[in-house]
Structure 1
């Protein structure tokens, strides 16, 4: 596992990290690790999450006939 040293961290930032860690019941090091992991972990969108759930459940086939009529522009009158 890799290590990182952060130099010249402002004292106020260090205090804030220690406070945040205490509020979450973690060590300061564990809190910093979690913050860094969350910062670089790709976020999955809601649509992608729903697709993944559907695929895990076997999915379903939706056969809706396509409406081939031309789209009418919106009227704001």
Structure 2
């Protein structure tokens, strides 16, 4: 794992990071990691995953179910 140093971070940004970390019960370092991960690591798209899983079945029609 690498270390990153951020120089000359504005005091208002530092304060916001401290507040956000406190709200989530994290250290500032853990909060920054969570923020970076949420921005850089794409969340799986459930619709795309389902379509990909069933793609080999081809197209088909489901019968209409009548309500009673």
State whether structure 2 residue 34 is matched by structure 1 residue 34. yes
Q: What's 2:60 paired with?
A: 64
Q: How many residues align?
A: 61
Which structure has the highest helix share of the two? 2
TM-score normalised to structure 1 length: 0.62
TM-score (norm. length: structure 2) = 0.69
Instruction: Give unmatched runs, 5+ long, in structure 1.
Output: 56-60, 66-77
- Give the match for residue 15 of structure 2: 15
Moved more, 21-30 or 37-46: 37-46
Task: Please say which structure displays the higher CA radius of gyration.
Answer: 1
How big is the shift at 1:42?
A: 2.0
Q: Which runs of 4+ in 1 moved over 4 A?
A: none
CA offsets, 1:42-66, max 9 Å, x none?
Answer: 23323223347x57xxxxx57636x
The alpha-carbon distance between structure 1 residues 20 and 63, as it changes in their structure 2 partners (threshold 3 A), is closer
